Amino acid sequence: MNQKLLGYLYVIVTMSAWGSTYVVSKFILGSVPPFTLLLLRYIVAAVVLYIIMMKKGLSKIERQDYKYIFFIGFVGYFLGVGAQFVGTQLSNASMASLTNSTNPIFIILFAVPILKEKITINKVISIIAAVIGAYIIIGGVQGGSMIIGLFACIIATTMWSLMSVVSKRATEKYNALTVTTYSIIVAICFTLPISIYELFTIPDVNLLEPAVILSALYLGVICTALAFVLWSKSLSMMEAGICSLFYPVQSMVSVLLGWIFLKEKMNMSFFVGAILIIAGVMFSILGGNKEGTSQEIPAE
């Protein structure tokens, strides 16, 4: 198969796997509390990724760079993904995945002060579109738990985007697989005590149910370990900007699977807000690929 087509296949499979994460999580979160499910997912993923890392003979993290691994593991994998699971539990899979699709917008906001990147007209328009879209969706949300879930998803997106910007410094020195593996191990350390608390305070949690075991294996192997490996392969075959063009596929897959398997319903506010958010993300990515065509606004 042509290398370019193979790269497209890898990135589509990756985004589809990440999109299914929300649906599988929503399904099983009725039986397992969020941080316990997160712990199970990370344990499975850590084992698979560590085996791959050892076979590739990748280097260990130097002591002076521990701070980056700690930050990535705590802020991104623990706080970010943990809030994502809480948000998915309180809202629905479609809402959680759509909110997550604004990651590129938040990354732009963090990249300016941290990485000293410049703001362009295209980026400003993208941010405005995403904010308006989010406002429309929030206005259409009804029910206290849905609103809390939505804000948990926003916190998750913020934490993950901040981590993504900071992790750029770590991945400039180390292989991305190494950074991810050790960061997940850090996240396990923080997730474990909360999971223990959940298991002691929430009754009737049965981790040996076939559905729980299969869900943990799927989330750990397919949605975390395999998806990351395929994402790395696609990045090695194509430009990062081209790979990012497929990011909205994640939301579309989640909405479709949520409608099919979870019988989720979306009102008109959801669809209008979704169109604005996805359009803003796509506009930012497409505009960013046209170097020199946008007027730059000096960053403070």
Q: Residues 65-120: pLDDT tens digits? A: 999 899 999 998 999 999 989 988 887 777 777 776 666 677 667 777 776 666 67
Instruction: Provide the pLDDT confidence category of residue 17 given band limits of 50, 70 and 90.
Output: very high
Q: What is the pLDDT of residue 48?
A: 93
Helix (H, G, I), strand (E, B) or coil at 203: coil
Angstrom distance (rounded) from CA 215 to CA 222: 10
Q: Which amino acid is at 249?
A: V
Cα 34 to chain centroid, rounded? 16
Is the alpha carbon torsion for 157, 160, 163, 165 positive or negative?
A: negative
Domain parsing of the chain, residue ranges: 3-297
Instruction: Provide the pLDDT confidence category of residue 293 given band limits of 50, 70 and 90.
Output: very low
Q: Are 184 and 44 in contact (CB under 8 A)?
A: no
Which pTM does this prediction carry?
0.77
Q: Please state the φ and ψ torsions of residue 296, each to the nearest 5 degrees.
A: -90, 140
pLDDT of residue 239 exceeding 70, the answer is no
Angstrom distance (rounded) from CA 146 to CA 94: 12
pLDDT of residue 186 exceeding 90, the answer is yes
Q: Which residues pair with 296 in a beta bridge?
A: 120
Find the mean pLDDT for residues 265-275.
74
pLDDT of residue 298 exceeding 90, the answer is no
